[in-house]
Amino acid sequence: MRISALSATTGVPIPTIKYYLREGLLPEGVRTGATQADYSDAHAQRLRVIRALVASGVSIAEVRRVLAALDTPPPTPHDLLGVAHEAVTAHVEDDGLDLTDAQALAARLGAKPGMPIEPSQLRVLARALATTADAGFEIPAPVMDAYVASARRVAEAEINGVPTDSPEAAVSYVVLGTVLPESVLLALRRIAEQVVSAERFAGRSG
């Protein structure tokens, strides 16, 4: 297909496609004339992955890393997911933060020694725990139990839904499915809090 059809198929504007071509993120099409090239469905699929990554706030440099992983697939699908997951993970410097509590929670989530858990993700958790404690708030043990059980349940459903038909589809799913539902999850929790609060307290006088 021509670049105009590629743009129409994917919804990505032509100048943006040209930018990705210049950056080497999207392979050149097959030249069919001095100013024309032919693009395949593989181009459209790759373009959707790039758009998904960029829409999730991933930098062009990180997009390049994810695409490199797609082009030379690592030995296991887990490694491929790891690259996609890492691309959308905040990189937290090792600032000597105590990871003991974060590691204990990871173990409760099912982490075993030798499992590839990103240290950066453990630091994100350790920092979140530290911020909570610094503000003088202690998450009650039964609440933390519910957080751990819910995180595990959510992850099982999500990973169960990873499409295995193509690496591109898997990476798009992991990248988009990691980042985008976060605001959905938080909004659901807040509405649930209102519902349960109404159930528990409605009608009682203050």
Residues 8-47 that bind its own copies (CB under 8 A): none
Between 60 and 151, CB nearer to its own copies? 151
Q: Give the contacts of 29 (CB within 8 A, at least 6 positions apart).
A: 3, 37, 38, 39, 40, 43
Does the protein bind its own copies through residue 98 (CB under 8 A)? no
Contact region for its own copies (CB under 8 A) — 1-9, 14-22, 32-40, 76-84? Answer: 76-84
Q: Where are the alpha helices (DSSP H) in 99-166?
A: 100-108, 119-134, 141-160
8 Å CB contact between 69 and 48? no
Does the protein bind its own copies through residue 156 (CB under 8 A)? yes
For the chain, helix, strand, coil in percent to 5 are 65, 0, 35
Which two tokens mark 3?
């670049």
8 Å CB contact between 88 and 56? yes
Q: Give the contacts of 95 (CB within 8 A, at least 6 positions apart).
A: 123
Contact region for its own copies (CB under 8 A) — 1-9, 14-22, 30-38, 185-193? Answer: 185-193
Does the protein bind its own copies through residue 113 (CB under 8 A)? no
Residues 16, 74, 97, 99: which binds its own copies (CB under 8 A)?
74
Q: How far is the CB of 98 from its own copies (least distance, A)?
A: 15
Q: How far is the CB of 68 from its own copies (least distance, A)?
A: 14
- The helix/strand/coil state of 37 is strand
Contact region for its own copies (CB under 8 A) — 1-9, 17-25, 26-34, 152-160? Answer: 152-160
Does the protein bind its own copies through residue 59 (CB under 8 A)? no
Contact region for its own copies (CB under 8 A) — 25-33, 35-43, 58-66, 198-206? Answer: 198-206
Applying the rule CB under 8 A, the residues between 162 and 181 that interact with its own copies are: 162, 167, 172-173, 176-178, 180-181
- Cα–Cα distance measured from residue 55 to residue 152, given in angstroms and rounded to the nearest whole number: 26
- The helix/strand/coil state of 36 is coil
Residues 30, 55, 60, 104: which binds its own copies (CB under 8 A)?
55
Residues 125, 166, 168, 169: which binds its own copies (CB under 8 A)?
125
